[in-house]
A = this chain, B = another copy of it.
Amino acid sequence: MQITTQILQKLHKIVGETFVFTDQETCNHYGHDETEDYIFPPNVVVKPANAYQVSEILKVANQHKIPTTPIGARTGLSGGALSIYQGIGMSMERFNKILNIDEKNLQVTVEPAVITQVLREAVAEKGLFYPPDPSSQGSCWIGGNVAENAGGARAVKYGVTKDYVLNLEVVLATGEIIWTGANTLKNSTGYNLTQLMVGSEGTLGIITKIVMKLLPKVTHNVLMLVPFYQANQACKAVSAIFRAGIIPSALEFMERDAIDWTLKFNNTININIKDNIQAHLLIEVDGNYPEILLQEAEKIMNVVEEFETDEILFADNEEQKNTLWKMRRSVAEAVKANSIYKEEDTVVPRYELPKLLSGIKEIGAKYGFKSVCYGHAGDGNLHVNIIKGDMTNNNWNTQVTRGIREIFELTVSLKGTLSGEHGIGLVQKNYMDIAFSKTHLELMERIKFVFDPNNILNPGKIFPDEF
């Protein structure tokens, strides 16, 4: 891809010279996210300040058919923000304001580059609650959360990002600016373009404002760590908790290895794990009435003890709670520090978790790879970290790809799918044929064409190279 001087001049005119970058260092910086070790730098990085500038940039890109990739916090795990066909990398970083916390309607209007945790804390100060909490909440942006339909630990009770998005200001590939819906809790007015946009990974438009619903703040929670002698028993316990009539506010699964690697990686986390423990569930219940939470915790205890548990640890204070959450949230980073790896974001109906877990191990044995599994078990959402370890590069590129394909075939056969919360992006796109027929993929492709006739918006994502 070539960006001509003439195009650069147009970009300068739109955003000002100080917000256009063509030096290699900047382009490299914006060319990677948290997905493996991929680097795909754009030819030029542009940093617009408002929807009008985004619109003008897209008009230029559309006229000259320049690939344009919206770039967020680059914490993504599916390569959604990588400029794989170069062109314009549009960093959204200047869209960093919380525009309005509407306490009267329990809504917030926010720009896409606000850090998720910053948003959560800002609304909490007003007594309000934005539940979605991806593990990367301290660094990811709300716009990326919308683009990938991010989840997090609290999704099991409170839903994922999509469940909070009411309305979006979107700049279309052709430069028009629309609001997708209305600022209402209910809406049966035409096709749901809001939900079509959520999770579309920057391929249908560029989001410049987000209206989200909020809940009243929840005041109390109880957190417990349940050790199991067998990983499959832990998986089975997950479904039993719901069948007992309880909806926990978090229900996380960690394999033994996930914890071992985490404790090795971060020696500030001080938890003692017995040798005979193979997996843990981290379980939280929340609400406004502490006495009820203790009753619910007891009910959960009675349920899980049917599945051969060791002594259950209750977090006594905020510090212990933070330690347990830190352990859970450090798993990905710990695995990354330990070895080259690939992370798959499998999801199945929650009762199928034991079958998924044992299937993954069998597939790993067949193709010669080790995996570390953990994730949001309450949602049936298991993150599978496939470890390179001392595998040859050749096996890593051939055997592992075959193994991943089998893992996804397994998830789909269990009525699950490829990604629960990370998106398809670059690295899962060539598995899409497992989940969708040719007819289905063509429908999606034609929808893409409706929004983006010249295929300039984040090209090379979601859709398989051939179908």
Contacts and interface: CB of A to CB of B under 8 A. Distances in A.
Please give the count of copies of this chain that the complex contains. 2
A439 B289 contact: no
A106 interface: yes
Interface stretch (A20-28, A176-184, A332-340): A176-184
Interface string A170-205: 001000101001111111111111011011100010
Interface in A225-282: 239, 242-247
Contacts of A217: 245
A435 interface: yes
Contact of A435 (B159, B190, B198, B419): B190
A298 to B, nearest CB: 13
A350 interface: yes
A412 to B, nearest CB: 7
A216 interface: yes
A190 B432 contact: yes
Interface stretch (A60-68, A308-316, A440-448): A440-448
Contacts of A345: 188
Interface string A152-164: 0001100110110
Given A172-B439, A243-B104, A349-B105, A191 B196 contact: yes
B417 A216 contact: no
Contacts of A215: 247
B176 A439 contact: yes
B420 A186 contact: yes
Interface in A19-38: none
Interface stretch (A361-369, A391-399, A421-429): A421-429
A183 B381 CA distance: 12
Given A106-B242, A196-B195, A149 B380 contact: no
Given A182-B417, A182-B435, A447-B450, A148 B188 contact: yes
Interface string A51-90: 0000000000000000000000000000000000000000
Contacts of A446: 450
A159 to B, nearest CB: 8
A103 B351 CA distance: 10
B424 A188 contact: yes
A343 interface: no
B216 A424 contact: no
A156 B213 CA distance: 12
B289 A182 contact: no
A354 B149 CA distance: 34
A189 B107 contact: no
A437 interface: yes
Nearest to A149: B188
A380 B199 contact: no
A419 B215 CA distance: 23
A451 interface: yes
A127 B448 CA distance: 42
A439 B178 contact: yes
A436 to B, nearest CB: 7
A381 B245 contact: no
B437 A178 contact: yes
Contacts of A187: 149, 199, 347, 417, 419-420
A107 to B, nearest CB: 7
B289 A289 contact: yes
A420 B450 contact: no
Nearest to A109: B415
A288 interface: yes
6 A-B pairs with the lowest CB-CB distances in the bound complex, closest first: A195-B195, A182-B417, A186-B420, A104-B351, A216-B245, A183-B415
20 contacts: A104-B239, A105-B239, A127-B245, A148-B188, A156-B185, A160-B186, A178-B440, A182-B347, A184-B347, A184-B349, A184-B416, A185-B347, A185-B379, A188-B199, A188-B345, A189-B435, A190-B436, A196-B196, A216-B244, A443-B450
Interface of A: 102-107, 127, 148-151, 155-156, 159-160, 162-163, 172, 176, 178, 181-193, 195-196, 198-200, 204, 215-217, 239, 242-247, 288-289, 292, 295, 345, 347-352, 376, 379-381, 412, 415-424, 432, 435-437, 439-441, 443-444, 446-448, 450-451, 462
Given A149-B186, A178-B437, A217-B245, 10 more contacts: A156-B185, A184-B415, A184-B420, A185-B350, A185-B379, A190-B435, A195-B195, A196-B196, A216-B247, A450-B450
